[in-house]
Amino acid sequence: MTILSAKNAAAQAAKMTPAESPGRIAAARVQAPRGEFVSMPLIGRVWVELIGEAALDEIDGAVAQIMKAEGLELVPLNGAAIERCRNALMLAWAVRTPDNKDERFDTAEAWRGLDADMITACALIYDDVRYRLSPVAMGALNEGQFREIRLAIEKKNATALASFGVVALSLYLLSTGAPPASSPTTRSSSSGSS
């Protein structure tokens, strides 16, 4: 689609009445997909596009089918396997080639073939994109979030810290008044050296 044809399509969509315009959102998505370029471990620079509600419903249905086919029930005991499968399917939908945002980077099977840590790392990057682009982005941490982040820092638990995402960790840092104790400080020079 050329820039001119995209503008023409947008103008036509704007003229439609609500009863005639079931494709307005789809047209808006084509013209301005919500996502950004990021670098992911192993694969490098890609476009990550946010997943819509209908796609998330499809992903959740597919996860249920895959778990059933693998003989795993959808119970908390299998939570880690369910989450890995969901993340892999989510990444298969969201991660696009950098040169063509409509082209998925790889198949769901290929994503599921990655090791668990790689899937988790890529899913954390997707979550960071989602938090950054969210129109209802977190404005402040609540007391529980603040306490959980502080506890993870005290215990030096990098995995727990990564799970909070860039936005929450940035808000935490901005809300603390003093720099961390291990931060280098500048010392004033002593006067009277001759």
pLDDT at 119: 95
pLDDT at 62: 95
pLDDT at 24: 67
pLDDT at 32: 57
Q: At the top level of CATH, which class does the domain 32-115 belong to?
A: alpha beta
Kindly tell me the sign of the dihedral angle through the C-alpha atoms of 60, 50, 142, 150: positive
Pairing of strands 95-97, 35-40: unpaired
Number of H helices and E strands in the chain, helices first, is 8, 4
* pLDDT mean by block of 10 residues, the chain; 194 residues: 50 48 59 81 93 91 94 89 95 95 94 95 91 69 85 89 78 72 51 48
Q: Is the full-model pTM beyond 0.85?
A: no
pLDDT at 115: 94
pLDDT at 181: 56
Please give the sequence-ordered ranges of beta strands (E in DSSP) within 11-115, or none if there are none.
35-40, 44-49, 95-97, 100-104
Q: What angle do CA 95, 97, 102 make, to 5 degrees?
A: 80
Looking up tokens 């908390």 gives 76
